[in-house]
Structure 1
Amino acid sequence: MGAEVVIEGLSKSFGPQTIWRDVDFTLPPGEVSALLGPSGTGKSVFLKSMIGLLKPETGRCLVNGVDICSCSEHDLYEIRKLFGVLFQDGALFGSMDLFDNVAFPLREHTRKTEAEIRRIVLERMEMVGLSGAEDKLPGEISGGMRKRAGLARALVLDPEIILCDEPDSGLDPVRTAYLSQLLIDINAQLDATILIVTHNINVARTVPDNLGMLFRRELVLFGPREVLLTSEEPVVSQFLGGHRTGPIGMSEEKDQASIDREKQWLASGRIAAEQQVTGVPPQLPVSEGLPERRAVRRRQDRVLGMLDDLPPAARDSVLRSINSQPAATPGR
């Protein structure tokens, strides 16, 4: 199973500008989580802080008990081997073919023979649907293929934690759907902990087991998908519903006066209530022939233990959602 990641009181600033502050949540091991938020809320900065590329001002990021924010350079080097990272643009070396791009971490961080490296690289490229493209250069392939090559490279060291920085960025809806399916299938096969940074509503509603949202320099909520997708928190429901009325404006946020005016206009009928996406849609299943994701049962058990603390409407929606989906086979 993937590693558990515990975030405690994490705060990050650039000079006088606070990016986010006092962020607390735990990534459940072996589950797929997503971090949401409007553009400019520091989601990518958060990922870089998680792997030690940026140093937060306060707080801890614990991976297997090691605090990435304060550990030695040697410990940080070792703990980073637990991570695989898919960057927005794939971050491939333009002068290397796809085989050498995917093989790069193995040659840099292991003493494996070229025969072992070849076996692992070809396995990972097959896993992401790139068999036969080993000799292609990054400039000769589509954006979707570059993303998949970046994902193959992120997988070659058998990471326990996979971080995906806006994997849908620059992709059309069809390629985004294929990549979403690929992440679910990888979780089924590896049981790795996956964190996806995104502002894609469809990805957020159908892919992850858990959702979190950054807004106004704080983590608004983090929890199982059933809880976030039934949340009555205004910014969460506005974002996941994809409508204009609410705290989020053309810039990151609206001031309170604008929010109050919207409420008055809605009540008076001056502006119409927008069609809002509600309820908990089915979660993306694994592809045929793959094992059921063990993460599904773990999340469902956790959500059932929270029912007594949820509002009645959310509780009913959660039960309908869970009862409508086939649970993972016990022990899988």
Structure 2
Amino acid sequence: MGVEVRVEALSKSFGRQNIWHNVSLTLPAGEISALLGPSGTGKSVFLKSLIGLIRPEGGRCLVDGVDTVSADEKTLLRTRRQFGVLFQDGALFGSLPVYDNVAFPLREHTRKTEAEIRSIVMEKLAMVGLVGTERKLPGEISGGMRKRAGLARALVLDPEIILCDEPDSGLDPVRTALLGQLLMDLNAQTDATILVVTHNISLARTLPDNLGMLFRRELVMFGPREVLLTSDEPVIGQFLNGRRTGPIGMAEEKDQALLDAERHLDPGEDEVRGLVPQLEPTPGLPERRGLARHRHRLGEGWHTLPEHTRAAVTAAHEAEQAQRRTAAAS
């Protein structure tokens, strides 16, 4: 099972440039979370801060009780072994074949025999559908295959936490959908805690249990997907719909005068808002324990949810039940 990651009042700057400040959120153990935000809001910096590759100036990041912000190097290295990271470009070694790329963490951080390494590598390649590519170089396979090879490498140490930095970057819509399904299946099989940074709205609406957004150097919102996807927050509506009008501009933010001037350009109601069915594991895989925990937490906090969120969740549940009755009757 994955572990909880608790972030408390985290702040990061580079020189005089503040990236974000006072960010607090909790990645629930064994659940899938996603983080949205305009380009340049520090989402990748946030991921690197979680594993201690970048040290924030303030706050704490507790991973299984260890604060990765203040931990010494020895403790930090031990804690990093709980993480598997899929970098934006796959970060494969171009001169090594796929097999050796995936085997690299095992050879670097364990004393396993080559026979043991081969068994693990082939198991992970099978999980991501790459059996048969072992001897190919990264340059000889497609971008989507490189992403999956990077994911296989992130999995070889059986991490309890998986971080994915824009896994959809450079992929066509079909490959992005297949990658989303792969992450859902991995969660069902491993119960790992997963955090995905993405700009892909379809992925953000259908994959995670929890969803958040960074904007103007702050965390606008983070919590159950049901809350963010039904939110009236203007910046969230603009981002989900890819609208020109709203708080986000080419320089990330607009002043009030510009917002007032462009109101007449607003085409009306948001086209993308509300709950859509969440992805499910591929038939034959276990039911997700993370989903059960997510629904339990949602029920416990039911009275704190906005009324329109409760109505949307109820309607979605009734539609799901009706669909199941129809399927059972056919």
**Normalising to structure 2: TM-score of the pair?**
0.95
Letter in 2 for 1:18: N
**Secondary structure, in 3 states, of the residue corresponding to 1:102?**
helix
What is aligned with 1:291?
Answer: 286
In the TM superposition, what are the counterparts of 1:38-49 in structure 2 within 5 Å? 38-49=38-49
Shift, 1:310, TM fit: 2.4
- Deviation string 1:287-323 (CA, Å, 9 cap, x unpaired) is 1111111111111121122222222222100222244
Letter in 1 for 2:124: R
Letter in 2 for 1:190: T
Letter in 1 for 2:237: S
Shift, 1:274, TM fit: 5.5
Q: Distance in 1 between matches of 2:173 and 2:252?
A: 25
What is aligned with 1:192?
Answer: 192
In the TM superposition, what are the counterparts of 1:80-95 in structure 2 within 5 Å? 80-95=80-95
Q: Distance in 2 between matches of 1:29 and 1:178?
A: 24
Shift, 1:31, TM fit: 0.3
- Deviation string 1:146-179 (CA, Å, 9 cap, x unpaired) is 0000000000000000000000001111111111
What is aligned with 2:26?
Answer: 26
Decide whether the 8 Å contact of 1:227 with 1:318 is kept in 2.
no
What is aligned with 2:299?
Answer: 304
Decide whether the 8 Å contact of 1:242 with 1:276 is kept in 2.
no
What is aligned with 1:329?
Answer: none
Decide whether the 8 Å contact of 2:245 with 2:266 is kept in 1.
no
In the TM superposition, what are the counterparts of 1:40-79 in structure 2 within 5 Å? 40-79=40-79
In the TM superposition, what are the counterparts of 1:116-127 in structure 2 within 5 Å? 116-127=116-127
Decide whether the 8 Å contact of 2:188 with 2:281 is kept in 1.
yes
Structure 2 residue 310 is matched with structure 1 residue 315? yes
What is aligned with 2:324?
Answer: none
Unaligned stretches of 5+ residues in structure 1: 327-332
Letter in 2 for 1:68: T
**Which ranges of 4 or more aligned residues in structure 1 deviate by more than 3 Å?**
322-326
In the TM superposition, what are the counterparts of 1:1-332 in structure 2 within 5 Å? 1-263=1-263, 265=264, 271-273=266-268, 275-325=270-320
Q: Distance in 2 between matches of 1:314 and 1:2?
A: 28
Shift, 1:22, TM fit: 0.3
**Secondary structure, in 3 states, of the residue corresponding to 1:6?**
strand
Single out whichever of 246-255 and 117-126 deviates more from structure 2.
246-255
For the aligned residue pairs, the C-alpha RMSD in angstroms reads 1.2
In structure 2, do the counterparts of structure 1 residues 230 and 275 end up closer, same or farther at CA, with 3 Å as the change threshold? closer
- Deviation string 1:79-107 (CA, Å, 9 cap, x unpaired) is 00000000011000011100000000000
Q: Distance in 1 between matches of 2:311 and 2:270?
A: 21
In structure 2, do the counterparts of structure 1 residues 172 and 280 end up closer, same or farther at CA, with 3 Å as the change threshold? same
Residue identity (%): 69
In structure 2, do the counterparts of structure 1 residues 238 and 84 end up closer, same or farther at CA, with 3 Å as the change threshold? same
Q: Distance in 2 between matches of 1:277 and 1:109?
A: 45
Q: Distance in 1 between matches of 2:161 and 2:267?
A: 44
Q: Distance in 1 between matches of 2:319 and 2:29?
A: 25
**Normalising to structure 1: TM-score of the pair?**
0.94
Letter in 2 for 1:81: R
